[in-house]
Structure 1
Amino acid sequence: MTPWTLEAALRRAAVRAYGLAPDDVPLVWPRNDHAEEGADAASALAPRLVRLVAGRRSRPSAVSGRVVGELARMRDEGLVDYAHADDDARGFVNVTFTDAQHRDLLAAAANGPRLLTGRAWNGQGEWPTTPLHEAGPVAQARRLARADARRRLAIATAEPPPPPGPDDAEVSWRDPYLDGEHREPVTPAARVLGTVGEASARIAFCRSIPEHPREAETTGRDLPVLPSAEYPGAWVRLTDANPAFRLRYAHAHAVSRVRWAGEGGTEPVPCLRHTTRVRGLLFDGTSAVDTAVRREEPHILVRYLEALASAYDEWRTCPTADPEGAERASVDPALPAAVAGVLRTGLFLLGVSAPTRL
């Protein structure tokens, strides 16, 4: 069950319940973070439908009740896979997935472009990547990086279909700026790129909200919005304090874990609570990308990827009561493959490479 399939099922249920034309039903992405405890996703479609189908005096819960009832009939008719749905006081439709649907979500997320944008990309293609070292002031490089991210997001989600995107080729940690491949011109922008590297610079430039930040503004502890060669802050570090490093490391770890699974590795049985958290964030990726595109705010994508990487870190480091005697099982590649697919695609849309080796 993906956001695409659930949104389509809810749309069809609304059409059947009220005799609407499909195009009259507003697009409302179901989200995990809107769901009640125990549910996998919730949709705010019913409150959006109230004025359209029942007048201002009708309660959203009455509309959602009819949508839920129609979903149940569609399930009985074999039109949708089994999933339990109910409504709540907000008028949201809450849906609980089956184990098979959980597995389907992970399998779908492994193809990050299809999950996040509804399209499958293959190979490499031509996407906007402005040479940031040609900018003069750091603020100008920031504007160029943000423009690149906005254009890449727009290309990925608009008609006609986008050119080929990220593939599964090996990607190293090498950085053209840190390796000294760009030596001219020597500008403040070029100097900061030579200090922190392109990946950290692009994430730093896209992470903040204001278009015209104050010079000393930060987006967290020791994370300047406009890093400089003299004060790069944590953007220069190869530690978790640097969001860019953390995102790229999480991808490299997830890819390595999939590789380890293929070699027959074993691991302690993962914590269910953290597994549920990662699955929920994977489900919310579609909405995060759509919101970033509509609002033209790349920081929404950056913060989403950071939340996913943090949840993955908690999943992979989940302590057991007795690590030595903990129950072990073969490494299941499904969840790390899903995380790798989404992180790789998200980083690509920001113009950042995703290393594949630790």
Structure 2
Amino acid sequence: MTPADLSRTVLHAVRRAVDEDALRVAVPERVRVERTRPGGSGDYACAVALQLARSAALPAHEVARILKDRIAAAPGIGRVEITGPGFLSLTLDASTDGAARTALVREVAARGTEYGHGTALRGEEPLLPYAAEVRAAVTADAVAALLRSQGAAPRTVATGPADPAWSRLGVTADTAPGHGTAGTAPGHGTTEPAATVRPVPAGAAAAELVERLGPDAARWGLLRAAGHDRAALGDGLLVQSAANPLFLVRYAHARTRALVRSARDLGVHGAPQPHEDAAAYGEPAALALTALLADHPAVLLAAARHRAPDRLARHLEAVAHAFFDFHDACPPLPAGDEKPSAAHRSRTALAEAAGTVLAGGLSLLGVSAPAHV
């Protein structure tokens, strides 16, 4: 069960409570469900009771009590607890959650690098004016890709003269007259005010960055930091070690591809089966990796909505770290005289799903994902 599934489950419980006149509130369009932080209880946490308390004219703890049993009765939910002032702590049913993890891996395989793309922003046509500076240009380009992944039809436009060298970083500049100020895009039907993309400037020109770092490392360096922070554009972006997040992410992707090639040679490559995944995906390292893969669609949507490609970059780093932890704790391939098993097939499928997510995320950032590093 993914966070999106849980969000729908909680919303359904709210609607039931309203229909049964147990709550008198407007049902929200969406509810946020997050992984429980270290030291917390349950698998997921939701603050919907605190969100609804004022409009319901009830204490948040009472709203949580009304929702608790309705959520607990839903398929896939093992236990629901109320913590603090009214947080709902959700624990998944182990058997249902195991099947969900298999379904998740299958979904990633079926959708490929478009896993996580959606239609939540369909019909939106935002204008993205950006400062005539290389970091702003690359950021606007990545934001536009994220928005398109969620169904929007964005338009980017520079607010000043474009640098021809931006094209070496994958940026196609539009500097049509009259499009450099806040407002709406003529002929594009958007109702969203256009706020200029203006991160902290890179302090270097595009040509110099490409010559020194290459387009992939330059784009990563420009996008990884939040817009209000200075971008790290030193030679550390070229270091081949785990201390370099770009290398870590790309190496993790290449390692998953190597595992799949070896699995095919050994005859253990294939989709996981529901009856096989309990042991293969039940280890803590596998649970952590599948949780991050399940969060990927929400990360893409949040990065698009908040115009924050750095969120995706950090998510890819987390996936890469989790993949290596999984690889070490749950080897996908048999070792020595060990015979290939169904567990190896399921683990390889999970590793392949991780690589697919990494490749798709890098593509949205405009960074290549080579099969060999």
Which amino acid in structure 2 is aligned with residue 336 of structure 1? A
The alignment of Structure 1 onto Structure 2 pairs a total of residues equal to 296
CA shift, 1:271, in A, is 8.5
Aligned equivalent of 1:278: 289
Structure 1 residue ranges without an equivalent (≥5): 76-80, 121-134, 162-175, 179-186, 214-224
TM-aligned CA distance change 1:279 to 1:23, over 3 Å: farther
Could you say what the CA RMSD is over the residues aligned between the two structures, in angstroms?
Answer: 3.8
Q: CA deviation at 1:190?
A: 1.7
1:195 pairs with 2:198: no
Shift of 1:10: 1.6
CA contact under 8 A between 1:3 and 1:30: conserved in structure 2?
Answer: yes
Does structure 2 conserve the Cα–Cα contact (< 8 Å) formed by 1:49 and 1:63?
Answer: yes
Report if the CA contact (8 A) 1:68-1:93 is conserved: no
**Superimposed CA distance per residue, residues 151-192 of structure 1 (whole angstroms, 9 cap, x where no aligned partner):** 11122224479xxxxxxxxxxxxxx979xxxxxxxx942232
**Distance in 2 between residues matched to 1:191 and 1:95, nearest whole Å:** 52
Between stretches 235-244 and 12-21, larger displacement belongs to: 12-21
Once the two structures are TM-superposed, the CA of residue 349 in structure 1 deviates from its matched residue by 1.5
Matched, 1:309 2:320: yes
CA distance in 1, matches of 2:265, 2:294: 28
Aligned partners of 1:341, 1:119: CA distance in 2, in Å? Answer: 20
Aligned to 1:151: 144
Matched letter for residue 252 of structure 2: A
> Offset of 1:296 from its aligned partner?
1.6
The 3 A distance-change label for structure 1 pair 270 and 15 is closer
Q: Distance in 1 between matches of 2:304 and 2:297?
A: 11
**8 Å Cα contact 1:288/1:300 also seen in 2:** yes
Residues 151-300 of structure 1 mapped to structure 2, 5 A cutoff: 151-159=144-152, 188-211=205-228, 213=230, 225=231, 227=233, 232-264=234-266, 272-300=283-311
Residue 59 of structure 1 aligns with an amino acid whose one-letter code is: A
CA contact (8 A) 2:286 2:330 kept: no
Counterpart-to-counterpart distance in 1, 2:105 and 2:44: 15
Return the letter of the residue paired with 2:28. V
Aligned counterpart, 1:84: 78
* 2:18 equivalent to 1:24: no
Residue of structure 1 equivalent to 2:71:
71
Rounded to whole Å, the distance in 2 between the matches of 1:10 and 1:308 is: 27
Structure 2 gap segments, 5+ residues each: 121-130, 155-166, 170-203, 270-279
Q: 1:94 aligns with which of 85, 90, 98?
A: 90
1:340 lines up with 2:341 in the alignment: no
Q: 1:48 aligns with which of 34, 43, 51?
A: 51
Q: What does 1:99-118 align with in structure 2 at a 5 Å threshold?
A: 99-110=98-109, 111=111, 115-118=115-118
Aligned to 1:6: 6
- Which shows bigger deviation, 44-53 or 26-35? 26-35
Per-residue deviation, 1:309: 0.6
Higher relative contact order (CA 8 A, sep 6+): 1
What is the CA distance between 1:266 and its match in structure 2?
6.8
- State the distance in 2 between where 1:202 and 1:159 align: 23
For 2:325, the aligned partner's letter is E
Q: Tell me the equivalent position of 2:157.
A: none
* Counterpart AA for 2:254: A
Tell me the TM-score normalized by structure 2: 0.67
- Cα deviation, residue 342, structure 1: 1.7
Shift of residue 298 of structure 1?
1.6
SS in 1 for 2:266: coil
Aligned position for 2:188? none
